[in-house]
Amino acid sequence: MKDSVDLAGIGEVPPDWMHRQKEVSPAEAQPLPGAYLKWYDVHPTDEAVADTERSQARAFLEHQTDRGALAFRNELGFVVLHRSGTFHFLIVCVWREVNELWQVLYAKDTGGTYQQVADVERFRPLQCVWELGPTAHERQAWSRYLFSARDGASKWAYVDDVYQGAV
């Protein structure tokens, strides 16, 4: 098959793109009505997410939950707050239907307010390579939980199982 397919022009990356490593830093979890969410900041290694930005994101999620725009079903999950240049992406993920990861994506520019990223076409942004770092860890942590006794101690083992490091 490789001999019959020409990949020229497919999957091209602009020549001036410089890929770099980022850092994942766990932060204090956020309990909300109907959910307990682990928290990850994703940021350039030399530019951590500011405490004020994290506080604003947490307040936004509380407000969304209080007004019913973000309805949880007694779920465990995690949040990824990604600093990307002047933008911040806020990704809320919960485990539903036992083994499915459900996600809501919000974005804001510096000084702005979070807005849900709407479907503009069939394909829509989900996660970038850096955001997938904590998500990959969470997939493995949730699988360990599913293989466990799934009792109170197992839930706390899941909650305590966080990733920190380079992506």
Q: Give the pLDDT of the chain (167 residues) as one tens digit per residue.
A: 888 999 999 999 999 999 999 999 999 999 999 999 999 999 999 999 999 999 999 999 999 999 999 999 999 999 999 999 889 999 999 999 999 999 999 999 988 999 998 766 677 778 999 999 999 999 999 999 999 999 999 999 999 999 999 99
Q: Is residue 15 part of a domain?
A: no
Q: What range defines the domain where residue 143 resides?
A: 22-166
Q: How many domains does the chain have?
A: 1
Please check whether residue 57 is in contact with residue 114, taking contact to mean a CB–CB distance below 8 angstroms.
Answer: yes
Distance between CA atoms of 165 and 167, rounded to whole angstroms? 7
| Confidence at residue 50, expressed as pLDDT on a 0 to 100 scale | 94
C-alpha distance from residue 42 to each of 71, 88, 100, 104, 166 (Å): 25, 10, 23, 17, 9
Q: Is residue 54 part of a domain?
A: yes
| Confidence at residue 164, expressed as pLDDT on a 0 to 100 scale | 97
Q: Is residue 73 part of a domain?
A: yes
Q: Is residue 88 part of a domain?
A: yes
Q: Is residue 2 part of a domain?
A: no
Structure tokens at 161: 């199982």
| Confidence at residue 111, expressed as pLDDT on a 0 to 100 scale | 84
Q: Is residue 17 part of a domain?
A: no
Q: Is residue 9 part of a domain?
A: no
Q: Where does 68-151 have alpha helices with state H?
A: 132-147
165-166 vs 22-32, strand pairing mode: antiparallel
| Confidence at residue 80, expressed as pLDDT on a 0 to 100 scale | 98
Q: Is residue 140 part of a domain?
A: yes
- What is the reported pTM? 0.93
| Confidence at residue 74, expressed as pLDDT on a 0 to 100 scale | 97
